[in-house]
Amino acid sequence: MNCGNDDIPFEKKALEAAIRIAVVAALVVWTYQIIRPFIMPVIWGAILAIAVEPFIAICSERLHGRRKLVSILFALIIILALIVPVIKLSSSSIVALQPVIKNIDKVHITIPPPPENVKAWPVIGEYVSDLWSLATTNIAGLVRQFEPQIKSAVLFLLGLISGGVKAVLVFIISIGIASAILATADKSTAAIHRVIRRFAGQKADAIRNLATATIRAVMLGVVGVAVIQSLLAALGMLIAGIPLTGLWAVLVLILAVLQLPPILVLGPVAGWYFTATDSTTFAVVFLIWCVMVSTIDGFLKPLFMGRGVNIPMPVILLGALGGMMFSGIIGLFIGAVVVAISYILFMAWVDEVEE
């Protein structure tokens, strides 16, 4: 009598398979829900570790192989370099806003009536003229009329602030993860290589080397240059005494990562400085500084990315925009790097097929 699996009815086999698949799927979904808050910090930490690993290796050699000590010092220095400017720039912005908030009730705003030719504007003339007249006679009524829009704008600004705080916290966690990866570089590299080999087989070495080169090139050529431009812009604005320096520096950083010229922010700031200062010489010097900061990437990017990694700027732009829409400010950086890696690997696969 055969007592093997052949005697088990098909319905029972299918039921057992379905139960096993459901259990595995539930475990996968449950695990994903638990680790989801840490996915972005882990990815960013791994990217940071790969980008700075050559520097850490050189420092550890000079300190007689004390790699863990170098990794801890690296994390502490980067965290301090991140937190101190944020606190400094935030405090300067708050100080700049305090006189406005303190004296806002004492300021008497006088709005002149609209000119007669405003009504002649096509499509929007009558509407603009009515709103202008209402602002002239009853600005409080105008504020009440647009109260929902004002609330939406305030909520949007609060969301940006909370997103910035969240991004700083994610950066700090990512730096800690990067430090742990760097401290155990041999084990971490071996584990990553095993995973890549499991999926890519004999091509694991080539894929790992190509991805590593891409990460370092994008981190230096895109993120690194953007940070340099943001810091230089903040330095110039602090020396010039520009209010809300922190906000403008963050906007410069975002534009630089998006591959857009920072002069889009620095230009209006420089124009305002011409009207706010009594010294035309200082204003001209500040304008020249802004132009230099905005154009310095033309020199730095080829220097940092000129190691055989050719990535079109639209690819980085799409990755940065998509990452920012997907996961906020931190996604701005991760998206640019991940999409650049995907593009390089895809093009390498296309070139291999053609050959």
Q: Identify the pLDDT of residue 29.
A: 92
In a domain, 314, yes or no: yes
Backbone angles phi, psi at 172, to 5 degrees: -65, -45
15, 16, 19, 23 alpha-carbon torsion, rounded to 10°? -170
Q: Identify the pLDDT of residue 26.
A: 93
**Mean pLDDT computed over 125-148:** 70
Q: What is the mean pLDDT of the chain?
A: 77
How far is Cα 52 from Cα 185, in angstroms, rounded to an integer?
12
Q: Who wins on pLDDT, 307 or 344?
A: 344
Please state, as a whole number, how many other Cβ atoms lie within 10 Å of the Cβ of residue 97.
12
Residues 6+ apart with CB under 8 A from 327: 40, 334, 335
**Mean pLDDT computed over 269-297:** 86
Nearest to 180 by CA among 45, 89, 313, 273: 45
Q: Who wins on pLDDT, 304 or 23?
A: 23
Q: Model confidence at 30, in pLDDT bands (50, 70, 90)?
A: very high
In a domain, 37, yes or no: no
Q: pTM (2 decimals)? A: 0.64
**Mean pLDDT computed over 78-106:** 63
Name the amino acid, one letter, at 327.
S
Domains in the chain, number: 1
CB-CB contact of 334 with 40 (8 Å): yes
Q: Is the pLDDT of residue 27 over 90?
A: yes
Q: Identify the pLDDT of residue 167.
A: 73
Q: Is the pLDDT of residue 254 over 80?
A: yes
In a domain, 60, yes or no: no
Q: Model confidence at 292, in pLDDT bands (50, 70, 90)?
A: very high
Q: Is the pLDDT of residue 1 over 50?
A: no
Residues 310-353 pLDDT 10s: 677 777 778 877 877 777 667 777 777 788 878 877 877 777 66
In a domain, 103, yes or no: no
Residues 6+ apart with CB under 8 A from 335: 319, 320, 321, 322, 323, 324, 326, 327
How far is Cα 54 from Cα 95, in angstroms, rounded to an integer?
41
In a domain, 351, yes or no: yes
CB-CB contact of 259 with 311 (8 Å): no
In a domain, 179, yes or no: no
Residues 153-177 pLDDT 10s: 666 666 666 666 677 787 888 888 8
Domain that holds residue 234: 202-355
In a domain, 129, yes or no: no
In a domain, 191, yes or no: no
CB neighbour burial string for 266-287, b if at least 16 within 10 angstroms, e if fewer: beebbeebeeeeeeeeebeebb
How far is Cα 253 from Cα 336, in angstroms, rounded to an integer?
13
Q: What is the token pair recorded at 17?
A: 């398979």
Residues 32-42 pLDDT 10s: 888 888 888 88
Q: Is the pLDDT of residue 3 over 70?
A: no
